[in-house]
Structure formats: C-alpha cells, structure tokens
Amino acid sequence: MRTVDLPGAIHLVRPTNVRALDPAPVMFEAMLEGWSRQQRSRLLAEKTVRDRLRLVRRFAEYTNAYPWQWTPEDVEAYFAAQFTKDPPAAHSTVRGQQNDLELFCAFVTDGRYGWSAACAEEFGQFPVQVCHDWNTADHVAEFEGRPGRRAMTYDELQQLFDAADDRVEQKRRLGRKGSLGAWRDSVLLKFVYAYGLRRREASMLDLADLRHNPRASDYGRFGALQVRWGKASRGSPPKRRTVLTVHELDWVVPLLEEWVDEARPRFSPSTHPALWVTERRSRLGVRRLDEVFHTVRTLAGLPDGLELHSLRHSYVTHLIEFGYPERFVQDQVGHRHGSTTALYTWVSDEYRNRLLEAHLHRQQVRPGQRRTHVTRGGSR
C-alpha cells in the first residue's frame, strides 16, 4: 500500500534506520505515540487523549501481551474483571472504555498507517480488531448513570443547605480556622443549584462573567451568568451560554452580593479573576467542589448516592415544576438535545397529580356542550 503522511503513520513516528535490541516494547510505544498524534490532529482534548492511552496501557499490562498478540478473549476477561471490583465499574464507563479500545485497534489495523505491515514483518504477527458486537456492551439504555444519582427533593436540598450553614456557625462559635472557607462552601453549593451548573463550569467562572439582565434590573450584576467553559463536543472548544437568574431562585442574589463584596476580598485574591478562590489565592478546582459536597452531604445525613451533579438534576426538575417551557430549561443548562434534558427531569408525584388535575379540568364538558371523540378517521 502506498505510504502517505497521515498523522500517526509509522514512518513519521519510528525511525527506519535504527533497529532496537528489544523491538516489541519500542513498537508498542511508537504505536501509542502515533495514535496520540492522530487524535490530536482531530483536535481532541488532551485529557481525552491521556485517558485513552492510559486505558490501552492498562489493557496491555493486564493481558501481558502486545497489540499484535491480543485476542477477543482478552477483551472478555479484562472487562469481566471490571465488574468484580468494589465498587464495580459503571456500565457507561465500561462501554466507553470498550469504544476507546476499539478505536485503538481500528487505528493500528488501518493499512494507511503502516503498523500492521511493520508488525507482520518484524514479529510474524499483526494486530487485529478484538472488539466486536458479540463481546462488547450495546448502548441500549438512554440513561446509564448510577441509580443513586438523581434530583434531590426540596426537603433534601433544605437539609443540605442547613448543614452547610450549621458548619459555618459551628466553626465560628468554636473559633476554628476555616470558617471563611466554610462560608464560601455554603454559598457555592447554593450557587451551583441556583444556576444548574456543572463542576467545571462553576470552577472556571470569573468575576467578569457576572452579567446584568436588562429585563431583570432588580438583580443588578447578578441577572445572568456568562458560562464560557461548557461541556464541549468532540474536537470542539468549550461551549458558551448565558444562564439567566430565575425569579423562583433569586434568593441567591443577596448571597452572591455578600460573597463578592464581603467574603471574597477577605481571601486577598489580589488581581485573580476567579469568582471562587481558595485560601491560597488560587482558583477553586473541580475536585474541591466534590469534596465540599461530600462533606456537607455527610453532615446532612443524606444518601451516599447523591453527588454534586445531583444539584444540576434538581435544577432541571424544579424549573419544569415551576412551569418553565422545556426549551427554556434546555437552553439554561446547555443541552444540545431535549432528550438529554428529559433524562435529567425527576418530577414529583405531586407535580404529576397537578398536571393530571389540570388536564381533567380542561376536559370537563360544559352543560349543553357535546363531547368530541377523535378517531383515526377524524372526529365524530
């Protein structure tokens, strides 16, 4: 096959005039380097590339074999072992890893890159596709998250926020170090819920992202948020959107005013632009956001299955229950498809009963009014 200069091709990665004393590990590392170049040429995120390379290394270590020696049975054994861990790997995680391994095999078996021919020449074996429909998981369910991840009820939210406030008061009363950080954490949890944010979106917000909304002048500079680090699609930069402050959750406005004008300056952030800063005058990271939620969740005595992302589920659910149109909710949270927003919605029985009562009320026939039945052939 004709040699072409595709990103990741063997002749662009491995020198042809040098022969290694131990060629197998050298060939494997060259494959990984070629695959990383090919993925970067598609503008995939660095984290995506690193995670995929790490998976291939783990798989090779588990099988104690190189890609030109892998078999479909290795795939079955490796991923079966993932479900014996404590806790077992999530279905979505396993399916994603199987997809990544399939992509790697597709790369090294593609004749345009030259890896198969080089392996056949050097080792007398060549890589084959080891991931097939019959030994990998199908994407049969729209929602593959853990069952414990759900929207929180109003009572659970109140428990969480009360526990966060109690944590601040306890540290202040005992004169312990960290009361200022606890204050920040309390406002932060309420803020994440009040705007339905993802972890990274909240972490990457700057003071400059606080916006006025001319239609809600009473909220001042807290009428909207400019989210610049929304979840990106493959090969695209982070998505942007504007999240409006809604009337039902405008209790967050005075909390934000207090944070920006009183609490944040006490961290001495100087010229740091981040909205949420640490005691070390740096940006609050996503891992710290998870730690804050887990700490307060434990204090509140809430189920372990609830995560920080549950606040986003709660936001979507409650906007629907407040009566906002589905399209508005979809735009607020930055979902590309309405079906994704639907998966986030966990409306209460009370809300569904109200909808049913309203529907029955509309269907009631007024005195003297004839009911119209709709059939396939039209009305009669």
Instruction: Write the pLDDT tens digit of every residue in 69-95.
Output: 999 999 999 999 888 877 778 787 888
Structural tokens at position 60? 């090779």
pLDDT confidence band for 63 (50 / 70 / 90):
very high
CA torsion sign for 337, 340, 342, 347 is negative
pTM score: 0.71
Convert the pLDDT of each residue in 22-58 to its tens digit.
Answer: 899 999 999 999 999 999 999 888 989 999 999 999 9
Convert the pLDDT of each residue in 312-329 to its tens digit.
Answer: 999 999 998 888 988 999
Structural tokens at position 156? 């659970």
Cα-Cα end-to-end distance for the chain: 70
Structural tokens at position 288? 């710290």
Walk me through the domains of the chain, giving residue ranges and CATH numbers: 10-123 (1.10.150), 154-352 (1.10.443.10)
What is the average pLDDT score of the chain?
Answer: 86
Per the CB < 8 A criterion, the answer to whether 229 and 217 are in contact is no
Q: Which amino acid is at 343?
A: L
Strands annotated E in 220-310: 224-230, 239-244
* The predicted structure's pLDDT at residue 372: 40
3-state helix, strand, coil in the chain (%, to 5): 55, 5, 35
The Cα angle at residue 330 between residues 213 and 205, in degrees rounded to 5: 55
Structural tokens at position 160? 């969480």
